[in-house]
Amino acid sequence: MGNSVGADQRFSPKLGTRGEALACTLLKEKGYKIIERNFKTPIGEIDIVAREGQTLVFVEVKTRGSKAFGSAKWAVDRKKQQKLSRLALYYLNLKAWKDRPARFDVVAVDLERQGERIELFRNAFDLVG
Q: What is the per-residue pLDDT across 88-111, written as a single tens digit (0 to 9) for each? A: 999 999 999 888 899 999 999 988
Reported as a single tens digit per residue, the pLDDT across 6-26 is: 333 445 668 788 899 999 999
Q: What is the mean pLDDT of the chain?
A: 84
* Confidence at 34, pLDDT banded by 50, 70, 90: very high
Which domains are seen in the chain, by residue range? 4-125 (3.40.1350.10)
Distant-in-sequence, close-in-space partners of 66: CB < 8 Å, separation ≥ 6: 3, 5, 6, 9, 10, 112
Which residues fall within 8 angstroms of residue 68, CB to CB, at 6 or more apart? 3, 6, 10
* Rounded Cα gap, residues 119 and 75, in angstroms: 13
Long-range CB pairs of 74-77 (<8 Å, 24+ gap) are 75/108, 76/106, 76/124, 76/125
* pTM (2 d.p.): 0.83
